[in-house]
Amino acid sequence: MKQQKMNRDWIATARTLNEALPYMQRYTGAVVVVKFGGNAMGDDEAMAEFARDIVLMRQVGVNPVVVHGGGPMINDMLKRLNIESRFVRGKRVTDKATVEVVEMVLTGLVNKRIVQAIMDEGGRAVGLSGKDDDLIVCEADDPELGFVGRPTELNVQVLRDLFSAGIIPVVAPVATGTEATETYNVNGDTAAGAIAGALKADRLLLLTDVSGVKNAEGEVVTAMTPEDVRQMTSDGVIAGGMIPKTETALKAIEEGVRAVVILDGRVPNACLLELFTEHGAGSLIRS
Ligand code: X2W
Protein backbone atom coordinates (compact mmCIF):
# COMPACT_ATOMS: atom_id res chain seq x y z
CA MET A 1 0.00 0.00 0.00
CA LYS A 2 2.74 2.36 1.05
CA GLN A 3 4.74 1.48 -2.06
CA GLN A 4 1.74 2.24 -4.24
CA LYS A 5 1.19 5.63 -2.66
CA MET A 6 4.83 6.53 -3.17
CA ASN A 7 4.60 5.56 -6.84
CA ARG A 8 1.59 7.79 -7.25
CA ASP A 9 3.41 10.74 -5.64
CA TRP A 10 6.34 10.30 -7.98
CA ILE A 11 4.06 10.14 -10.98
CA ALA A 12 2.37 13.34 -9.82
CA THR A 13 5.78 15.01 -9.38
CA ALA A 14 6.88 13.97 -12.86
CA ARG A 15 3.59 15.22 -14.32
CA THR A 16 3.97 18.55 -12.52
CA LEU A 17 7.42 19.00 -14.02
CA ASN A 18 6.15 18.00 -17.44
CA GLU A 19 3.31 20.52 -17.25
CA ALA A 20 5.66 23.27 -16.09
CA LEU A 21 7.77 23.11 -19.27
CA PRO A 22 5.87 25.75 -21.30
CA TYR A 23 6.02 28.14 -18.35
CA MET A 24 9.72 27.54 -17.87
CA GLN A 25 10.28 28.21 -21.56
CA ARG A 26 8.26 31.41 -21.34
CA TYR A 27 10.35 32.72 -18.44
CA THR A 28 13.81 31.76 -19.69
CA GLY A 29 15.92 34.91 -19.50
CA ALA A 30 13.10 36.82 -17.77
CA VAL A 31 13.85 39.22 -14.93
CA VAL A 32 11.67 38.61 -11.88
CA VAL A 33 11.93 40.97 -8.91
CA VAL A 34 10.64 39.41 -5.69
CA LYS A 35 9.84 41.63 -2.70
CA PHE A 36 10.18 39.46 0.40
CA GLY A 37 8.58 41.31 3.31
CA GLY A 38 9.48 40.84 6.95
CA ASN A 39 6.00 39.49 7.67
CA ALA A 40 6.37 36.86 4.95
CA MET A 41 9.75 35.58 6.23
CA GLY A 42 8.58 33.25 9.00
CA ASP A 43 10.71 30.56 10.61
CA ASP A 44 13.83 28.86 9.27
CA GLU A 45 11.79 26.26 7.43
CA ALA A 46 9.72 28.88 5.60
CA MET A 47 12.93 30.75 4.78
CA ALA A 48 14.50 27.57 3.37
CA GLU A 49 11.42 26.92 1.26
CA PHE A 50 11.50 30.47 -0.13
CA ALA A 51 15.22 30.14 -0.88
CA ARG A 52 14.63 26.86 -2.69
CA ASP A 53 11.99 28.48 -4.91
CA ILE A 54 14.41 31.27 -5.79
CA VAL A 55 17.22 28.82 -6.56
CA LEU A 56 14.85 26.79 -8.71
CA MET A 57 13.91 29.93 -10.67
CA ARG A 58 17.57 30.59 -11.36
CA GLN A 59 18.11 26.93 -12.27
CA VAL A 60 15.51 27.16 -15.04
CA GLY A 61 16.96 30.33 -16.54
CA VAL A 62 15.06 33.10 -14.74
CA ASN A 63 17.04 36.05 -13.38
CA PRO A 64 15.56 36.62 -9.92
CA VAL A 65 16.34 39.65 -7.77
CA VAL A 66 15.28 39.48 -4.12
CA VAL A 67 14.48 42.83 -2.48
CA HIS A 68 13.68 42.31 1.16
CA GLY A 69 11.99 44.17 3.99
CA GLY A 70 12.39 43.46 7.67
CA GLY A 71 10.07 45.88 9.45
CA PRO A 72 9.28 43.46 12.33
CA MET A 73 13.01 42.76 12.85
CA ILE A 74 13.74 46.51 13.00
CA ASN A 75 10.91 46.93 15.53
CA ASP A 76 12.42 44.18 17.73
CA MET A 77 15.87 45.75 17.71
CA LEU A 78 14.54 49.27 18.36
CA LYS A 79 12.62 47.88 21.32
CA ARG A 80 15.75 46.21 22.71
CA LEU A 81 17.56 49.55 22.41
CA ASN A 82 14.65 51.47 23.96
CA ILE A 83 14.13 53.55 20.83
CA GLU A 84 10.51 54.35 20.07
CA SER A 85 9.00 53.25 16.71
CA ARG A 86 6.50 55.47 14.98
CA PHE A 87 4.84 55.20 11.58
CA VAL A 88 3.21 57.88 9.46
CA ARG A 89 1.16 56.67 6.46
CA GLY A 90 2.82 53.25 6.63
CA LYS A 91 6.38 54.60 6.70
CA ARG A 92 8.73 54.60 9.67
CA VAL A 93 9.64 58.01 11.07
CA THR A 94 13.41 57.68 10.86
CA ASP A 95 15.73 59.88 12.91
CA LYS A 96 19.53 59.54 13.05
CA ALA A 97 19.52 56.83 15.75
CA THR A 98 16.78 54.89 13.95
CA VAL A 99 18.47 54.96 10.55
CA GLU A 100 21.59 53.43 12.13
CA VAL A 101 19.52 50.56 13.51
CA VAL A 102 17.65 50.16 10.20
CA GLU A 103 20.94 49.89 8.31
CA MET A 104 22.42 47.42 10.80
CA VAL A 105 19.38 45.18 10.89
CA LEU A 106 18.52 45.21 7.17
CA THR A 107 21.99 45.04 5.61
CA GLY A 108 23.33 42.83 8.39
CA LEU A 109 20.98 40.36 10.04
CA VAL A 110 18.17 40.17 7.53
CA ASN A 111 20.18 40.42 4.31
CA LYS A 112 22.71 37.80 5.39
CA ARG A 113 20.03 35.42 6.63
CA ILE A 114 18.50 35.39 3.13
CA VAL A 115 21.89 35.11 1.39
CA GLN A 116 22.80 32.20 3.65
CA ALA A 117 19.45 30.46 3.02
CA ILE A 118 20.00 30.69 -0.77
CA MET A 119 23.57 29.41 -0.43
CA ASP A 120 22.30 26.52 1.73
CA GLU A 121 19.96 25.50 -1.08
CA GLY A 122 22.82 25.35 -3.57
CA GLY A 123 22.38 28.72 -5.24
CA ARG A 124 24.82 31.60 -5.44
CA ALA A 125 23.70 34.82 -3.77
CA VAL A 126 25.39 38.14 -3.10
CA GLY A 127 23.86 40.64 -0.69
CA LEU A 128 23.99 44.35 -1.35
CA SER A 129 22.19 47.47 -0.28
CA GLY A 130 21.15 50.47 -2.31
CA LYS A 131 24.51 51.98 -1.39
CA ASP A 132 26.51 49.36 -3.27
CA ASP A 133 27.56 50.72 -6.66
CA ASP A 134 25.01 53.53 -6.04
CA LEU A 135 22.22 51.08 -6.88
CA ILE A 136 19.57 53.33 -5.28
CA VAL A 137 20.12 57.07 -4.81
CA CYS A 138 17.43 58.89 -2.85
CA GLU A 139 16.22 62.25 -1.76
CA ALA A 140 14.19 62.88 1.39
CA ASP A 141 10.63 61.67 0.88
CA ASP A 142 8.90 63.99 3.33
CA PRO A 143 10.40 66.26 6.01
CA GLU A 144 8.04 64.74 8.57
CA LEU A 145 9.63 61.31 8.07
CA GLY A 146 13.29 62.25 8.58
CA PHE A 147 15.73 59.94 6.79
CA VAL A 148 13.15 58.14 4.68
CA GLY A 149 14.21 58.07 1.06
CA ARG A 150 12.39 58.35 -2.25
CA PRO A 151 14.47 56.77 -5.02
CA THR A 152 15.48 59.33 -7.64
CA GLU A 153 18.25 57.49 -9.47
CA LEU A 154 18.75 53.78 -10.06
CA ASN A 155 21.99 52.21 -11.29
CA VAL A 156 21.04 48.63 -12.07
CA GLN A 157 24.10 47.63 -14.09
CA VAL A 158 25.49 45.83 -11.02
CA LEU A 159 22.39 43.60 -11.04
CA ARG A 160 22.88 42.75 -14.72
CA ASP A 161 26.54 41.96 -13.99
CA LEU A 162 25.44 39.57 -11.24
CA PHE A 163 22.86 37.94 -13.56
CA SER A 164 25.59 37.27 -16.14
CA ALA A 165 27.68 35.60 -13.47
CA GLY A 166 24.77 33.37 -12.42
CA ILE A 167 24.49 35.14 -9.07
CA ILE A 168 21.22 36.03 -7.34
CA PRO A 169 21.28 39.62 -5.99
CA VAL A 170 19.68 40.12 -2.56
CA VAL A 171 18.99 43.81 -1.97
CA ALA A 172 18.44 45.57 1.38
CA PRO A 173 16.34 48.75 1.02
CA VAL A 174 18.88 51.16 2.46
CA ALA A 175 20.10 53.87 0.12
CA THR A 176 22.56 56.62 -0.32
CA GLY A 177 21.67 60.31 -0.83
CA THR A 178 23.09 62.87 -3.21
CA GLU A 179 25.10 64.45 -0.36
CA ALA A 180 28.09 62.50 0.95
CA THR A 181 27.49 60.31 4.06
CA GLU A 182 23.68 60.44 3.83
CA THR A 183 21.83 57.21 4.58
CA TYR A 184 18.16 56.68 3.77
CA ASN A 185 15.65 54.12 4.95
CA VAL A 186 13.50 53.09 1.97
CA ASN A 187 10.22 51.21 2.23
CA GLY A 188 10.84 47.69 0.90
CA ASP A 189 7.94 47.77 -1.56
CA THR A 190 9.11 51.15 -2.90
CA ALA A 191 12.67 49.86 -3.39
CA ALA A 192 11.45 46.68 -5.12
CA GLY A 193 9.18 48.71 -7.44
CA ALA A 194 11.96 51.15 -8.33
CA ILE A 195 14.40 48.33 -9.11
CA ALA A 196 11.79 46.42 -11.13
CA GLY A 197 10.99 49.62 -13.06
CA ALA A 198 14.64 50.35 -13.82
CA LEU A 199 15.16 46.76 -15.00
CA LYS A 200 11.85 46.80 -16.95
CA ALA A 201 11.25 43.47 -15.22
CA ASP A 202 8.92 40.86 -16.63
CA ARG A 203 7.36 40.34 -13.21
CA LEU A 204 7.36 42.08 -9.85
CA LEU A 205 6.13 39.72 -7.14
CA LEU A 206 5.14 41.50 -3.94
CA LEU A 207 5.08 38.70 -1.35
CA THR A 208 2.90 39.56 1.58
CA ASP A 209 0.81 37.95 4.30
CA VAL A 210 -2.63 38.59 2.86
CA SER A 211 -4.43 36.64 0.17
CA GLY A 212 -4.44 39.48 -2.39
CA VAL A 213 -6.51 42.49 -3.39
CA LYS A 214 -10.14 41.99 -2.39
CA ASN A 215 -13.27 43.38 -4.05
CA ALA A 216 -16.26 44.91 -2.22
CA GLU A 217 -17.59 41.38 -1.58
CA GLY A 218 -14.34 40.41 0.12
CA GLU A 219 -13.24 38.03 -2.67
CA VAL A 220 -9.70 38.08 -4.00
CA VAL A 221 -9.53 39.58 -7.50
CA THR A 222 -7.11 37.40 -9.45
CA ALA A 223 -6.53 39.76 -12.40
CA MET A 224 -7.01 43.49 -12.84
CA THR A 225 -5.86 46.43 -14.92
CA PRO A 226 -4.33 49.65 -13.53
CA GLU A 227 -7.69 51.30 -14.34
CA ASP A 228 -9.51 48.73 -12.14
CA VAL A 229 -7.06 49.47 -9.33
CA ARG A 230 -7.67 53.25 -9.60
CA GLN A 231 -11.43 52.71 -9.59
CA MET A 232 -11.31 50.38 -6.57
CA THR A 233 -9.11 52.87 -4.72
CA SER A 234 -11.41 55.82 -5.38
CA ASP A 235 -14.38 53.63 -4.31
CA GLY A 236 -12.54 52.92 -1.04
CA VAL A 237 -12.43 49.16 -1.74
CA ILE A 238 -8.64 49.22 -1.79
CA ALA A 239 -7.63 50.81 1.50
CA GLY A 240 -5.15 50.79 4.38
CA GLY A 241 -1.96 48.77 4.05
CA MET A 242 -2.87 47.64 0.53
CA ILE A 243 -2.55 51.19 -0.85
CA PRO A 244 1.27 51.40 -0.77
CA LYS A 245 1.40 48.04 -2.56
CA THR A 246 -1.05 48.97 -5.32
CA GLU A 247 0.64 52.39 -5.71
CA THR A 248 3.99 50.63 -6.09
CA ALA A 249 2.39 48.31 -8.65
CA LEU A 250 0.94 51.16 -10.74
CA LYS A 251 4.20 53.09 -10.73
CA ALA A 252 6.20 49.99 -11.71
CA ILE A 253 3.82 49.28 -14.61
CA GLU A 254 4.12 52.91 -15.77
CA GLU A 255 7.90 52.47 -15.76
CA GLY A 256 7.67 49.40 -17.98
CA VAL A 257 7.25 46.36 -15.71
CA ARG A 258 5.07 43.86 -17.61
CA ALA A 259 2.99 42.69 -14.66
CA VAL A 260 2.89 42.96 -10.89
CA VAL A 261 1.50 40.27 -8.61
CA ILE A 262 0.48 40.91 -5.02
CA LEU A 263 1.17 37.40 -3.84
CA ASP A 264 0.16 35.48 -0.74
CA GLY A 265 3.48 34.45 0.78
CA ARG A 266 1.73 32.15 3.26
CA VAL A 267 0.84 29.76 0.44
CA PRO A 268 3.60 27.13 0.11
CA ASN A 269 5.85 27.70 -2.91
CA ALA A 270 3.90 30.85 -3.80
CA CYS A 271 6.50 32.06 -6.33
CA LEU A 272 6.57 28.75 -8.19
CA LEU A 273 2.81 28.52 -8.16
CA GLU A 274 2.62 31.98 -9.71
CA LEU A 275 5.29 31.56 -12.37
CA PHE A 276 5.12 27.92 -13.37
CA THR A 277 1.49 26.88 -13.07
CA GLU A 278 -1.83 28.10 -14.31
CA HIS A 279 -2.92 28.61 -10.72
CA GLY A 280 -1.69 31.90 -9.23
CA ALA A 281 -1.86 32.80 -5.56
CA GLY A 282 -2.82 36.45 -5.44
CA SER A 283 -3.77 39.43 -7.60
CA LEU A 284 -2.11 40.10 -10.94
CA ILE A 285 -2.10 43.68 -12.22
CA ARG A 286 -1.27 44.50 -15.81
CA SER A 287 -2.43 46.83 -18.56
C1 X2W B 1 10.87 50.17 6.27
C2 X2W B 1 11.96 49.29 5.69
C3 X2W B 1 11.73 47.83 5.93
C4 X2W B 1 10.49 47.30 5.24
C5 X2W B 1 10.95 50.16 7.82
O6 X2W B 1 11.69 50.93 8.39
O7 X2W B 1 10.26 49.30 8.40
C8 X2W B 1 10.20 52.47 5.92
O9 X2W B 1 9.14 52.34 6.50
P10 X2W B 1 8.75 45.27 5.47
O11 X2W B 1 8.99 44.02 6.25
O12 X2W B 1 8.69 45.03 4.01
O13 X2W B 1 7.60 46.05 5.98
N14 X2W B 1 11.08 51.50 5.79
C15 X2W B 1 10.56 53.79 5.30
O16 X2W B 1 9.93 47.83 4.30
O17 X2W B 1 10.05 46.12 5.78
CA of 125 to the centre of ligand 1 (A): 22
Nearest CA to ligand 1 atom 10: 69
Report the pLDDT value the prediction gives residue 140, as an integer from 0 to 100: 96
The minimum-distance atom of ligand 1 relative to the CA of 36 is 12
Q: Which of 185, 205, 206, 210 to mutate to test the pocket of ligand 1 (most atoms within 8 A of CB)?
A: 185
Amino acid at 137: V
CA of 70 to the centre of ligand 1 (A): 6
Task: Compute the distance between CA of residue 248 and CA of residue 196 in angstroms, rounded to an integer.
Answer: 10
Average pLDDT, the chain: 94
CA of 191 to the centre of ligand 1 (A): 10
Burial class (CB within 10 angstroms; exposed 0-12, middle 13-18, buried 19+) of 228: middle
Is residue 148 in contact with ligand 1, taking CB distance under 6 Å?
A: yes
Is residue 265 in contact with ligand 1, taking CB distance under 6 Å?
A: no
Nearest CA to ligand 1 atom 1: 187
Is residue 285 in contact with ligand 1, taking CB distance under 6 Å?
A: no
Task: Compute the distance between CA of residue 38 and CA of residue 73 in angstroms, rounded to an integer.
Answer: 7
Report the pLDDT value the prediction gives residue 2, as an integer from 0 to 100: 55
Report the pLDDT value the prediction gives residue 4, as an integer from 0 to 100: 59
Mark 171-208 as b/e (b = at least 16 C-beta within 10 Å).
Answer: bbbbbbbeeeebbbbbbbbbbbbbbbbbbebbbbbbbb
Is residue 173 in contact with ligand 1, taking CB distance under 6 Å?
A: yes
- Give every CB contact of residue 83 below 8 A, 6+ residues apart in sequence: 97, 98, 101
**Residue 150: Cβ within 10 Å count:** 16
Report the pLDDT value the prediction gives residue 271, as an integer from 0 to 100: 93
Q: Which of 67, 92, 243 to mutate to test the pocket of ligand 1 (most atoms within 8 A of CB)?
A: 92
Task: Compute the distance between CA of residue 196 and CA of residue 261 in angstroms, rounded to an integer.
Answer: 12
3-state helix, strand, coil in the chain (%, to 5): 45, 25, 30
Sign of CA dihedral 50, 129, 282, 256: negative
The minimum-distance atom of ligand 1 relative to the CA of 145 is 15
ipTM of the complex, rounded to two decimals: 0.98
Q: Which residues of the chain have pLDDT under 70?
A: 1-7
Report the pLDDT value the prediction gives residue 3, as an integer from 0 to 100: 58
Nearest CA to ligand 1 atom 16: 188
Task: Compute the distance between CA of residue 250 and CA of residue 238 in angstroms, rounded to an integer.
Answer: 13
